[in-house]
Amino acid sequence: MDHTPRQLFAMIRAGMEKEVLASNAPWYCVSCYFCMARCPQEIHITDIMYTLKRMAIENGHYEDATAPDLSKSFVGQVENYGRSFELGLATRHYLRHMPSKLFKSAQMGMGMLSRERLDLSPNRIEGTKQLQSILQRAKELEGVA
């Protein structure tokens, strides 16, 4: 974690946009909401982290692409199938970002397969077209279509 949340806020107040969006701190957020539950000023810290992630992707400022790419791959899959597809996601992701760990990941995959906990092909919903049209409209409204 490059910066603590408190440091990020101070940097935001100081107008250090580039450094804030380049920080890896929001990408290390696991959304456990401990910070939000405990903040005495009731600041929505986790939600701000999500916003910073979105802004970083929009601006392309992040330095390490591992986390942003994972999110983007996930998004692509969900938009295609309406469901997540772990095998596809993991393969693509490891190939791009952690090729050295691909073998170990494959071992884990075999373990999941043998325990009937992994699908070899993606599941699809019926309303994929409906979902895609909804999401397309939503992106237009967000201004990122």
Partner 1 sequence: MSDNHEKERVGVYVCHCGTNISATVNVEDVAVWAREDMSDEGVVVSRDYKFMCSSLGQEMIERDIEEEGLTRVVVAACSPHLHEATFRGACDRAGMNPYLCELVSIREQVSWVHTDKEAATQKAKAVISGGIERVIENEPLDPLFVPIHPDTLVVGGGIAGIQAALEIADSGKKVYLVERDPSIGGHMAQFDKTFPTLDCAACILTPKMVTAGNHPNIELLTWSEVERVEGYVGNFVVTIKKKPRYVDTELCTGCGICWEKCPKKVIDTEYEAGVGYRTAVYTPFAQAVPKYPVIDPETCTFFLNGKCKACQILCPTDAIDFEQKEEFISVQVGNIILATGFDVFDARRIPQYGYGRLANVFTSLEFERMCNAAGPTNGEIVLRDGVTQPKSVGIVHCVGSRDRRYNNYCSVICCMSSLKFAHLVKEHTDAEIYDFYIDMRTAYKDYDEFYLRIMEEGTNFIRGRVAEITDAARNLEEEGKLIIQAEDTLAGRQRRIPVDMVILALALEPRHDANQVAKKFGISCSHSGWFIEKHPKLDPVATMTEGIFIAGAATGPKDIPSSVAQGSAAAARVLSFIGQGEIELEPIRATINAQQCSGCRICNTMCPFNAILFHEDLMVSEINHALCQGCGTCVAACPAGAISGSGFSNEQIMSQIEGMMRLDMPRLVEMVPV
Partner 2 sequence: MSRYLFYPGCSLQRSARPYLDSLNAISADLDLEIEDVNDWNCCGATEYGSVYRVPAHALVGRNLALAQQQVNGSKTLMAACSACYLNLVKTNYFMREDIRLRTNVNDALGVGGLHYDPDAVVVRHLLDIFYNDIGLEEIQARVVRPLKGLRVAPYYGCMIVRPDPEHRFDNPEYPQALDKLLKVLGAEVIDFPLKTHCCSGHMTQISPEVAYELIRRLVDGADQYRTDIMVTLCPMCQLNLDAYQGDMNQHFKTNYHVPVLYFTQLIGLAFGYEPLELGIGREFIAAREALAKIGVEVPEPAEAKPRRKRSRKDDPSLPMPIMPDDEEVA
Residues in contact with 131: Cβ distance below 8 Å, sequence separation at least 6, in sequence order: 79, 82, 125
Closest CA to 21 of 70, 75, 64, 69: 64
Furthest C-alpha separation in the chain: 53
The answer to the question of residue 90 lying near partner 2 (CB under 8 A) is yes
The answer to the question of residue 103 lying near partner 2 (CB under 8 A) is no
Q: Which is nearer to partner 1, 41 or 100 (CB)?
A: 41
The answer to the question of residue 41 lying near partner 1 (CB under 8 A) is yes
d(CA 61, CA 2): 14
- What tokens appear for 87 in the block? 């095998």
Pick from 6, 72, 83, 124 the residue near partner 1 by CB under 8 A: 6
**H/E segment holding residue 115:** none
- Which of partner 1, partner 2, none has residue 7 at its interface (CB below 5 to 8 Å by kind)? partner 1
DSSP state of 15: T
- Which of partner 1, partner 2, none has residue 16 at its interface (CB below 5 to 8 Å by kind)? none
Q: Which is nearer to partner 1, 6 or 96 (CB)?
A: 6
The answer to the question of residue 32 lying near partner 1 (CB under 8 A) is no
- Which residues contact partner 1 (rule: CB under 8 A)? 3-4, 6-7, 34, 38, 40-42
